[in-house]
């Protein structure tokens, strides 16, 4: 077991579809391969961010296809309908949603936005996630374009195959292809940098928010 023998269930908190894949996609694949049950909760369909003419559920469809590359089945994808960029307004409802997830899933490990993420929606998921899951192990994933600073004090070594699964997952988001951080070379380059920091070929970096032994 890569983390601890008592970690059986992991939960990814993704403010928007694709955040979890960008932040920790290769790690999710590794967790799946280690036999950990991985659940994925996305909080907004981001209708306002879709290209003109898109179906309202386009990102949900892309999410399902993307997570298939990481070993996460449709039955373990949880979708919510909060409006993108208005999470601060809906803070209490989001906290109540997270509390229900805690009761339902009882996750041993929660992967969430890091504490220094500048996006307003990501900050709400971090802050309310910390409240809801304060008795779980918490790791904050890295999205460099949202960070001025980032404390990378936990590294997950990943294989080239696991990294390739992440790249394939990101490619499923055709509606987001215009974003520079969707580029394969960027994803691989970041994983190489994080790997070099711990003497590995590839890794993903996290902020240790809370760890319970």
Nearest-angstrom CA–CA distance, 191 and 193: 5
28 falls within a domain:
yes
CATH number, position 64: 3.40.50.10320
> What percent of the chain stands above pLDDT 90?
92
2 falls within a domain:
no
Segments forming the whole domain that contains residue 13: 9-210
Tell me, what's the pLDDT at 179?
Answer: 87
* 1 pLDDT tier (thresholds 50, 70, 90): very low
Nearest-angstrom CA–CA distance, 117 and 148: 8
Strand arrangement of the beta sheet that strand 154-157 belongs to: 77-79, 37-42, 9-14, 109-113, 137-141, 203-210, 154-157
29 falls within a domain:
yes
127 falls within a domain:
yes
Q: pTM for the full model? A: 0.96
Per the DSSP assignment, residues forming a β-bridge with 41 are 13, 78
pLDDT > 90? residue 177: no
């Amino acid at each position: 077991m890569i983390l601890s023998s008592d970690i059986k269930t992991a939960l990814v908190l993704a403010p928007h579809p694709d955040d979890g894949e960008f932040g920790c996609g290769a790690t999710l694949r590794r967790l799946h391969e280690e036999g950990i049950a991985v659940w994925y909760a996305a909080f907004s369909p981001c209708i306002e961010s879709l290209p003109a003419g898109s179906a309202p559920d386009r990102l949900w469809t892309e999410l399902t296809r993307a997570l298939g590359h990481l070993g996460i089945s449709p039955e373990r994808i949880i979708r919510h309908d909060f409006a993108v960029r208005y999470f601060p307004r809906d803070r209490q409802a989001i906290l109540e949603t997270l509390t229900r997830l805690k009761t339902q899933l009882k996750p041993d490990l929660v992967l969430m936005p890091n504490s220094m993420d500048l996006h307003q929606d990501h900050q709400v998921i971090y802050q309310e996630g910390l409240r809801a899951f304060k008795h779980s192990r918490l790791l904050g994933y890295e999205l460099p374009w949202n960070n001025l600073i980032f404390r990378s004090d936990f590294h997950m070594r990943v294989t080239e195959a696991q990294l390739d699964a992440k790249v394939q997952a990101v490619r499923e988001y055709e509606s987001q292809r215009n974003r520079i951080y969707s580029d394969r070379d960027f994803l691989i380059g970041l994983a190489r940098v994080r790997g070099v920091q711990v003497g590995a070929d590839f890794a993903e970096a996290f902020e240790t928010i809370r760890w319970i032994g």
